[in-house]
Amino acid sequence: MKIRILSAAALLFAVSASGALAQAPDYMKEDCAKATQSFFQEFEARTDVTYEGQRTDGTHAINGTIYLENRAEDFQCSYAGDGVTMVDFITEGKSWPGFARGTELSPNQAASQSENTAPAASSGNQLAVVKFPAGSSGTMLEGAIRGQEYFDYQLDASSGQTMSVDLRVDGTNGDGTIYFNILPPGSNDVAMFVGSRDGNSATVRLPQNGPYLIRLYLMGNDRDTDKTVGYDLDVSIR
């Protein structure tokens, strides 16, 4: 099923649910390695990553080394107790919590994109509630975003389910620089998946019951010069 939604429209479909296991350390290791490659904008660089366990404050520690062209850099990722949400990222002797939360680009990302922040709240922008029809676990959403606006899709899901999201550009009068974040229940700024850091395809295990947000937004020249980007968003929950 393919449904066209522009920024002022709303979606209503029915969601299926099934239980699964909580997130494993392997997820955090893979996510941390990808985030580090994105931080340095070196997506083919080798990384060695180790799960160091859960700290007394409940956060999880991932340590590693990335091997860049002319040097090696140590890094550390800290995850919330859910084992999904990155809350801090440390490298080059500095903490980058904004990068971890998806509200700030790394210096390497900022060098290639003129915009250095992503939207953090939904006030003044649009929200559509998505429910899948009976017997279906996903749907294709279609719409457009202009300039500094952004758009939230809200989906109810259960702990242990897997959400898959794939975003593709479908026409633009600019560069087509569009991303999405995935926000867990109760969060309006801290994302568990950050598109500007992690790319435009996601498969994530959900840590808790509740409404999740998929937030679409523009960056760089498209946002600054009020361009319009059309998109296709393929979403499923299993």
Q: How far is CA 29 from the centre of its chain?
A: 16
Nearest CA-CA partner of 210 in 184, 179, 189, 182 = 184
Give residue 183's domain range.
2-21+118-237
Percentage, residues of the chain above pLDDT 70: 83
138 and 100 in a common domain: no
9 and 45 in a common domain: no
**Is residue 170 pLDDT above 80, yes or no?**
yes
219 and 128 in a common domain: yes
pLDDT at 68: 93
For the segment 42-86, what is each residue's pLDDT rounded down to a tens digit? 878 999 999 999 999 999 999 999 999 889 999 999 998 888 888
Which has the higher per-residue pLDDT, 154 or 121?
154
pLDDT confidence tier of residue 39, bands split at 50, 70 and 90: confident
Look-up of token digits 């994530």: 204
pLDDT at 105: 73
Coil vs helix vs strand at 230: strand
Listed in sequence order, the residues at least 6 apart from 57 whose beta carbon sits closer than 8 Å to its beta carbon are: none
Nearest CA-CA partner of 198 in 64, 55, 77 = 77
Helices (H), the chain: 25-40, 97-101, 107-112, 195-198, 220-224
pLDDT at 111: 65
**Is residue 177 pLDDT above 80, yes or no?**
yes
Listed in sequence order, the residues at least 6 apart from 165 whose beta carbon sits closer than 8 Å to its beta carbon are: 180, 182, 193, 201, 202, 214, 233, 234, 235
**Is residue 13 pLDDT above 80, yes or no?**
no
Do residues 76 and 70 make contact, with C-beta atoms less than 8 angstroms apart? no
Do residues 233 and 3 make contact, with C-beta atoms less than 8 angstroms apart? no
User: Of the ranges 74-78, 99-103, 152-156, which is most confident?
Assistant: 74-78
Among 3-12, 26-35, 136-145, which stretch is predicted with the lowest mean pLDDT?
3-12
137 and 72 in a common domain: no
Listed in sequence order, the residues at least 6 apart from 95 whose beta carbon sits closer than 8 Å to its beta carbon are: 88, 89
For the segment 180-229, what is each residue's pLDDT rounded down to a tens digit? 999 888 887 778 898 988 889 999 888 888 899 999 999 989 999 999 99
First to last CA, the chain: 17
195 and 176 in a common domain: yes
pLDDT at 7: 38
Final residue of a structural domain among 96, 112, 128: 112
**Is residue 17 pLDDT above 80, yes or no?**
no
Final residue of a structural domain among 75, 91, 112: 112
181 and 105 in a common domain: no
Among 3-7, 101-105, 128-132, which stretch is predicted with the lowest mean pLDDT?
3-7
Which has the higher per-residue pLDDT, 233 or 118?
233
Q: How far is CA 102 from the centre of its chain?
A: 8
pLDDT at 172: 93
**Is residue 18 pLDDT above 70, yes or no?**
no
pLDDT at 124: 41
For the segment 119-145, what is each residue's pLDDT rounded down to a tens digit? 444 444 688 888 887 778 899 898 999
CATH of the domain at 127: 2.60.120.380
pLDDT at 95: 95
Number of domains in the chain: 2
Final residue of a structural domain among 94, 112, 130: 112
